[in-house]
């Protein structure tokens, strides 16, 4: 018995000492005492005196940095808006900059082994499989049909009803509901009906939102140990997260079982397609949940800022209407896929809005080994390496002196859309992990925007109010986007 007690004492003593030692190393690496101006402003939050959002302050620092790179020592984070550095991280030295364990830990409980959360062979396998599926014409047509159906059956009736009642609608909420219905149908073959006329409380959407929000909030804990201990004890936010993930899991399981019973070989959604080659149900669940996370809030965020920015640019709205008339004629039907491709101005306006308001504002990797970035910045092993999409859209070195202006024309050469270098325009990431749903997202955004702009005026309550973003993986505006909807004369 004495031996057992002595052993337990030694074991727990060692564990506590080891944990304290790890914590000290962690604190030491963070350098919480750094006295440089940037770190002091960060720690004292004095930047809030001059800037509405953290991303605006980072943009200011990056615009004023000679190399387009800054170092937040207290966060162990090197942040860059330099396209050469981006190309180096996401392409040339891709293997040295994985998403890394700190990131995959945050989302691990929700996303498991899904594409969004893994590196190495598991990522390669899913990337290859997903690229093949998403590149096929059949899935593009399937996705386009889903979008058109959601617009016809839900979005347009809802807007007409709001216009008739002269009701103020929160467009951000409408777009979140739209994109959730759409991505669930596309990924699972499930219709949650969030955009029904009554705007119902949608249990699955709530559980999914809670799970992604609580996972993102892990990143702002003082130390990862805080949320890991809470998870171990199953208390507070970690308990809520566990319950939310359980609901997501139950639904995924139900969908997989139903498909196994009813057959899936002729069905167009992603889950059915993946089920033909994967038999591990947990893996299937993980793969599909990554798509839900990647494709939901991003599209809604992009559409929200688009309609906000349009409220300050009536001349762009008129130009879009002119283009729609030119391409579709007096026809009142929604355009088909081919007609959508001819709308260069609309495409340019959406690219331009995403440049200034990217749904994903920054993207971090972790250096595996010591490295030197092309601008000469030393990147020690283990450092968090972030490139800042929001700042990159506002760099004079990349976009010229009018970089802060909203000008769709900058994307057009003789009326034809010309894409930019992906290492400069990083809205959809770049290099080997470039967004796999980019084309789908653009088609969805364009079709929704077109349907609204053609049929309605959206009067934003306060167009001059600068957006305040809620911290999270995707840019969400505090207070949403309240608008008065007016039906246009036919």
3-state SS class at 311 = coil
Please identify, using beta-carbon distances, which residue of 162 and 473 lies nearer to ligand HEM.
473
Pairing assessment for the beta strands 69-72 and 378-379 based on DSSP bridges: unpaired
435 is in an annotated binding site: yes
Are 406 and 68 contacting, i.e. CB atoms less than 8 angstroms apart? no
For residue 341, what are its two tokens? 């491709």
Phi, psi angle pair for 298, to nearest 5°? -60, -50
- C-alpha dihedral over 292, 297, 298, 301, to 10 degrees? 160
Question: Shortest distance, CB of residue 71 to ligand HEM, whole angstroms?
Answer: 21
Question: From CA 299, how far away is CA 312, in angstroms rounded?
Answer: 21
Query: How does DSSP classify residue 431?
Result: G
Question: Shortest distance, CB of residue 469 to ligand HEM, whole angstroms?
Answer: 14
3-state SS class at 374 = coil
Beta bridge partners of 69: 80
Phi, psi angle pair for 483, to nearest 5°? -140, 150
Question: From CA 474, how far away is CA 464, in angstroms rounded?
Answer: 22
Please identify, using beta-carbon distances, which residue of 119 and 238 lies nearer to ligand HEM.
119
Question: From CA 82, how far away is CA 346, in angstroms rounded?
Answer: 28
Question: From CA 231, how far away is CA 241, in angstroms rounded?
Answer: 9
Cβ contacts of 461 within 8 Å, gap of 6 or more: 168, 482, 483, 484
Question: From CA 322, how far away is CA 319, in angstroms rounded?
Answer: 5
CB neighbourhood size of 472 (10 A): 17
The interaxial angle of helices 281-295 and 297-310, nearest 10 deg, is: 10
Question: Shortest distance, CB of residue 387 to ligand HEM, whole angstroms?
Answer: 10
Please identify, using beta-carbon distances, which residue of 238 and 359 lies nearer to ligand HEM.
359
Please identify, using beta-carbon distances, which residue of 410 and 446 lies nearer to ligand HEM.
446
Please identify, using beta-carbon distances, which residue of 394 and 433 lies nearer to ligand HEM.
433
SS3 content of the chain, % helix, strand, coil (to 5): 60, 10, 30
Question: Shortest distance, CB of residue 277 to ligand HEM, whole angstroms?
Answer: 17
Question: Shortest distance, CB of residue 349 to ligand HEM, whole angstroms?
Answer: 14
Please identify, using beta-carbon distances, which residue of 39 and 445 lies nearer to ligand HEM.
445
Question: Shortest distance, CB of residue 252 to ligand HEM, whole angstroms?
Answer: 16
Question: Shortest distance, CB of residue 165 to ligand HEM, whole angstroms?
Answer: 31
Please identify, using beta-carbon distances, which residue of 87 and 238 lies nearer to ligand HEM.
87
Question: Shortest distance, CB of residue 160 to ligand HEM, whole angstroms?
Answer: 26
Residue 169 belongs to what H/E stretch?
strand 168-170
For residue 474, what are its two tokens? 């995707």
Please identify, using beta-carbon distances, which residue of 431 and 482 lies nearer to ligand HEM.
431
DSSP, residue by residue, 209-224: HHHHHHHHHGGGSSSH
Question: Shortest distance, CB of residue 84 to ligand HEM, whole angstroms?
Answer: 19
Please identify, using beta-carbon distances, which residue of 116 and 390 lies nearer to ligand HEM.
116
Q: How far is CA 439 from the centre of its chain?
A: 15
Which residues in this chain contact ligand HEM in the complex, by CB under 6 A? 115-116, 127, 290-291, 294-295, 298-299, 302, 359-360, 363, 427-429, 433, 435-437, 440-441
Residues annotated within the binding site for heme are 435
Residues annotated within the binding site are 435
């Amino acid at each position: 018995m004495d031996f057992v007690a002595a052993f337990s004492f030694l074991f727990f003593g060692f564990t506590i000492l080891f944990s304290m030692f790890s914590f000290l190393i962690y604190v030491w690496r963070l350098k919480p005492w750094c006295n440089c101006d940037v770190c002091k402003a960060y720690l004292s939050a004095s930047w809030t005196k001059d800037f509405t959002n953290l991303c605006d302050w980072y943009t200011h620092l990056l615009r004023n940095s000679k190399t387009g790179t800054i170092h937040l020592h207290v966060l162990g984070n090197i942040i860059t808006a330099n396209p050469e550095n981006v190309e180096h991280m996401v392409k040339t030295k891709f293997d040295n900059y994985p998403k890394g364990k700190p990131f995959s830990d945050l989302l691990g409980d929700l996303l498991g082994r899904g594409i969004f959360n893994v590196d190495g062979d598991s990522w390669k396998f899913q990337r290859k499989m997903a690229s093949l599926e998403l590149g096929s014409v059949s899935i593009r047509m399937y996705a386009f049909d889903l979008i058109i159906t959601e617009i016809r059956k839900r979005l347009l009736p809802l807007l007409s009803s709001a216009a008739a009642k002269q009701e103020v609608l929160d467009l951000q909420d409408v777009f979140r509901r739209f994109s959730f219905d759409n991505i669930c149908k596309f990924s699972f073959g499930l219709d949650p009906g969030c955009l029904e006329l009554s705007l119902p409380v949608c249990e699955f959407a709530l559980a999914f939102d809670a799970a992604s929000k609580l996972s993102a909030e892990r990143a702002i804990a003082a130390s990862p140990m805080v949320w890991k201990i809470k998870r171990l004890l199953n208390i507070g936010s970690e308990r809520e997260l566990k319950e939310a993930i359980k609901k997501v899991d139950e639904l995924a399981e139900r969908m997989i079982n139903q498909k196994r019973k009813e057959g899936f070989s002729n069905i167009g959604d992603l889950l059915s397609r993946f089920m033909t080659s994967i038999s591990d149900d947990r893996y299937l669940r993980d793969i599909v949940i990554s798509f839900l996370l990647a494709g939901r809030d991003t599209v809604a965020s992009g559409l929200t800022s688009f309609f906000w920015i349009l409220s300050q640019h009536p001349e762009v709205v008129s130009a879009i209407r002119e283009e729609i008339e030119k391409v579709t004629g007096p026809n009142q039907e929604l355009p088909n896929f081919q007609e959508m491709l001819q709308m260069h101005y609309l495409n340019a306006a959406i690219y331009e809005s995403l440049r200034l308001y990217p749904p994903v504002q920054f993207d971090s990797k972790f250096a595996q080994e010591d490295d030197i970035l092309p601008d000469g910045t030393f990147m020690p092993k283990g450092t968090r390496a972030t490139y800042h999409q929001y700042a990159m859209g506002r760099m004079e070195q990349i976009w010229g002196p009018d970089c802060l202006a909203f000008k769709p024309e900058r994307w057009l050469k003789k009326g034809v859309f010309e894409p930019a270098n992906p290492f400069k325009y990083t809205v959809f990431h770049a290099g080997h992990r470039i967004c796999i749903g980019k084309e789908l997202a653009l088609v969805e955004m364009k079709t929704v925007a077109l349907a609204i702009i053609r049929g309605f005026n959206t009067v934003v309550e306060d167009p001059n109010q600068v957006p305040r973003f809620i911290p999270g993986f995707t840019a969400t505006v505090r207070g949403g986007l309240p608008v008065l909807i007016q039906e246009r004369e036919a």
